[in-house]
Amino acid sequence: MNKLVPSELAERIEVARKALENCRLCPRNCGVDRRAGQQGYCRLNHSLCCFREMVVDYEETGLNPSHQIYLAGCNLRCEFCTVAEWNANTDLASIISMNELIGIVEQKHISGARNINLLGGEPSVSLAGVLELLEKIDPAIPVVWNSNMYYNEIVTELLDGLIDIFLADFKYGNNDCARLLSGTDDYLEVVKRNIQRSHGKDKMIIRHLIMPGHYTCCAEPVLTWIAENVPDAKVSLRRDYIPPAEPGFAPSDYQNPREIRKAEDLARSLDLRLIQ
């Protein structure tokens, strides 16, 4: 729930808008003036580009029915991304205006949606627009931050007290896999820092996508790190990896049941709080 007084949220919106003039919201540190229409790595200017919204019942236990709000633009380039076309073409993505979105959120909340679920792309690259949306909707609507957690500290600071549940992706257990599959060199330190910074203040569910052939390099170190650093976070092992159509570095197979069982067994042996 939004626990800020309106003037404090308004101040944060101004800070987030100002930050767009020399954008360093994430470790790409593009330094472009998004307010003037320039685009950085995430291909966004100042607009909030909502390209899809829907209420679903397949999120983790306790979140459903969840009103997903898909925002275009991303600061990672995951080879296996299922919405890559929207992130590549953010101009086409602005199909739901802010005013329409506000009305839709209110209406779906009245109809039974339990929360709004901000995802993408990556919601942090649309921070100013996200804060504007939160300012205009009923503050009693719980907010789920469904994020790759790859952003700079300014995002953590401006979100403080506004998020009810962090649905935090933790994909890779080392920077080599992150570099090959998502095009980033500093994934591990940034994501670990952000998970640790937000954990404890708010509820956190850490998602780890089990990828074929990535048990030793990714699943094992990720789960071990969670056990050692944020043991009370809930953990969701995702089994929905879809191989990309274009061959590259990402695995070309669907998940291997043996590797899924191994990851589940490890999580249990580490006493992690597994959820579905």
* Residues found near ligand SF4 in the complex (CB under 6 A): 23-26, 28-30, 32, 40-42, 75, 125
Q: What is the rounded CA–CA span in Å between residue 111 and residue 121?
A: 26
The least distance separating ligand SF4 from the CB of residue 106, rounded to whole angstroms, comes to 28
CA dihedral 70, 183, 23, 192 (to 10 degrees): 80
227: how many CB neighbours lie within 10 A of its CB? 17
With respect to ligand SF4, which residue has the nearer C-beta, 72 or 205? Answer: 72
The least distance separating ligand SF4 from the CB of residue 24, rounded to whole angstroms, comes to 5
The least distance separating ligand SF4 from the CB of residue 79, rounded to whole angstroms, comes to 18
Tell me the chain's radius of gyration from C-alpha atoms: 18
The least distance separating ligand SF4 from the CB of residue 153, rounded to whole angstroms, comes to 13
With respect to ligand SF4, which residue has the nearer C-beta, 151 or 215? Answer: 151
With respect to ligand SF4, which residue has the nearer C-beta, 24 or 262? Answer: 24
With respect to ligand SF4, which residue has the nearer C-beta, 187 or 241? Answer: 187
- Of 89, 76, 67, the C-alpha closest to 27 is 76
With respect to ligand SF4, which residue has the nearer C-beta, 17 or 24? Answer: 24
Cβ-contact 38, 45 below 8 angstroms: yes
Q: Which residue has the tokens 């980033």?
A: 184
The least distance separating ligand SF4 from the CB of residue 44, rounded to whole angstroms, comes to 6
Shortest-Cβ-distance residue relative to ligand SF4: 40
Q: What is the rounded CA–CA span in Å between residue 34 and residue 71?
A: 16
Q: What is the rounded CA–CA span in Å between residue 177 and residue 175?
A: 5
